[in-house]
Chain A
Amino acid sequence: MSGLKILRIGPAASVQDTGRPGLLGQGVSQGGAADPLALAEGAALLRQDPGLAALEMGGMGGEFEATGPLRIALTGAPMAATLEGEPLAWNASHRMEAGQRLSIGAARRGVYGYLHLGGGIASEPLLGSRAVHLMAGLGRAAAAGDLLPADSDRNNETGLVLAAENRFQGGELRIVESFQSGLFPEPVRTRFAATAFRRGGRANRMGVEMVSDGEGFAADGQLNILSEVILPGDVQMTGDGKPFVLLRECQTTGGYPRIGTVLPCDLPRVAQAQAGAALRFCWIGLEQALEIQAKFEKSLKGLPAACRPLVRDPAVLRDLLSYQLISGAVSAEADPFATGETA
């Protein structure tokens, strides 16, 4: 069985897939990749099932050695990557031969980068998933010396690239009202959407702190409400009225009130915001939210068809190969100087 041996790894790396839906009643939240879009992109680049497990790397990557020939893809927060010292394009698929070394550096933008293996990572499933869920005590962070075994790979296509939606610099988060929104007086909800937030220093796979100048956002009866179900995307106010956006590895229930719920399709933007990134909330109605989310889910299905060959022109210097990453796919909103991720 081919795989990757971990020679060196950052402190916040773990195997992730789409998580464990269906265990809410046992107190286990779904968990899974902090940026599910990156998971889907990697699957598209490797022409495989989006439910397969990949290695999620928070903030920084590591160094890996192939134990046999295998395919890899790199997605999520752009990180500097080299194979045997040669730069690799991000958001692209590549081939590794036995004994070759892959080196992945720190995130240049965003937080969570992903390393996918052809066939998926075949770690031992627990309660129906391979997703490490630290809060639940399911699995553990990846460590030097671990082997990431690749499951059997029926495909051999590599050299594909996908334009990545820029979700790595904060931005606008669309939010719908939920069952506790009414606990927050109307002026508080209005002020919430008018406030410029920055991602705070406290952030992990469970939730992300939002900080702002001025007073906090308190609900009526803040400290005495009944504990209720938590949904990923809920914006919870702690005792001092400070918002946390809860992610998919959050607890399943909680007693701090939630002002509303960020759309699932905007959660990668929350997870991938670096400390200090500017974020803002925008209230939208349920019908509009359902349309936006449905459109996002449809776009996920279109990812395999959106993969393009990495251009390999022998007349071009080798280290320019990686410049092809964003060819023909610059977003109208993107800062042209902030894209063009190269190794």
Chain B
Amino acid sequence: MNSQEALAYPLVRRAGLNGMLVSFDSSLSEASNRAALAFGSAVEALPLEGVVETMASLASVFVRFDPADLRHEALEAALETLLTARNWLQAPLPAGRRFWRVPTVYGTDLAPQLGEAADAAGLSEAQAIESLGAARVRVLTIGFAPGQPYLGSLGPEWNLPRQTELTPMVPRGALVQAISQFVLFSNPAPTGWRHVGQTGLTLFQPGAAQPFALRPGDEMQFEPVSKPDFLKHCEDEPLLGGAIVAEIAA
């Protein structure tokens, strides 16, 4: 087994000492993400003693369990059975989704890697801003850091590899890009993705009643604004940075 292409999906594999990973594809697609979100909820509803927590990721579901209460073989069998219960690739998206429109500065000193990413995508900076700013993307999963979304999918021209060297630090609200996705940073962090835009949106407030702003299935659009307009938004609304939220009708 030297490449994921040789594997047949969906696939149940062992993760470390006390985890199981159910993958619906080796690459991200609308359907594989839809399947992961629905399957994750279904695993949580299983009456299985020993399951500690589950996490739906881009195209997979992770299940952490206590091997003292639940044997690997028993969990594997339960997951295989659940996989056959329906066509997960056609499962509905979660209820209560929202659409976020987020004012974003592309490029400038606030997001210095736009030019580099545009070059790699074979676009001018203006074309890159038009393409990224028009994309309506979905929260595929929350991960890496608290409340932080992976967003997709962008067009194939944005299927760019990660950098070989990490960018030492991007600020809160940084919009970074790689492999046909965005990530919007909830806290300052190093990243292997390119910093193409900057927003003023706060995704995680530890002390608040609702600490996490986004949910998987929410949709977002990062609308281009000038740097002065962006700074004004941040001053007027320090937590939202001018973002507008609306319910998506079911």
The interface of chain A, by Cβ under 8 A from chain B, is 21-28, 126-127, 135-138, 176-179, 182-183, 185, 220-221, 223-229, 231, 233-234, 238-240, 251-256, 261, 263-264, 286, 289-290, 293-294
Contacts and interface: CB of A to CB of B under 8 A. Distances in A.
Contacts of A228: 21, 57-58, 60, 62
A218 B3 CA distance: 13
A228 B164 CA distance: 18
B206 A127 contact: yes
A233 B15 CA distance: 11
A261 B16 contact: yes
Given A229-B19, A254-B144, A221 B53 contact: no
Interface string B144-166: 11111010000000000111111
What range describes how many residues of B lie at the interface?
Answer: 35 or more
A182 B16 contact: no
Nearest to B3: A220
Contacts of B187: 135-137
Chain A CB within 10 A, most for which of B23, B144, B206:
B144
30 contacts: A22-B53, A23-B146, A24-B53, A24-B62, A24-B143, A26-B146, A26-B147, A27-B145, A27-B147, A127-B211, A136-B145, A136-B204, A176-B16, A178-B14, A178-B15, A178-B16, A179-B21, A220-B2, A224-B161, A224-B179, A226-B28, A226-B59, A227-B57, A227-B144, A228-B57, A229-B21, A240-B164, A252-B145, A261-B17, A294-B68
Contacts of B207: 126
Contacts of B55: 24-25, 229, 252
Given A25-B56, A135-B187, A239-B192, A226 B26 contact: yes
Contacts of A183: 2-4
Contacts of B26: 226
Contacts of B211: 26, 127
Nearest to A261: B16
Given A135-B189, A226-B58, 19 more contacts: A22-B52, A25-B55, A27-B144, A27-B147, A135-B145, A136-B187, A136-B206, A137-B146, A138-B206, A179-B21, A183-B2, A183-B4, A226-B60, A227-B150, A229-B19, A252-B143, A255-B178, A255-B179, A289-B17
B186 interface: yes
B17 A21 contact: no
Contacts of B60: 226, 228-229
A138 B27 CA distance: 33
B133 to A, nearest CB: 24
A185 B21 contact: no
Contacts of A177: 14
Interface in B177-219: 178-179, 186-187, 189, 192, 204, 206-207, 211-212
B17 A293 contact: yes
B141 interface: yes
Nearest to B16: A261
A229 B53 CA distance: 12
A231 B19 contact: yes
A37 B139 CA distance: 38
A303 to B, nearest CB: 19
Given A24-B55, A252-B55, A136 B146 contact: yes
Contacts of B232: none
A298 B166 CA distance: 40
A26 B55 CA distance: 9
Contacts of B166: 238-239
Given A24-B53, A25-B53, A179-B14, A221 B143 contact: no
A253 B164 contact: no
A194 B98 CA distance: 51
Contacts of A231: 15-16, 19
Interface in B8-62: 13-17, 19, 21, 23, 26-28, 40, 52-60, 62
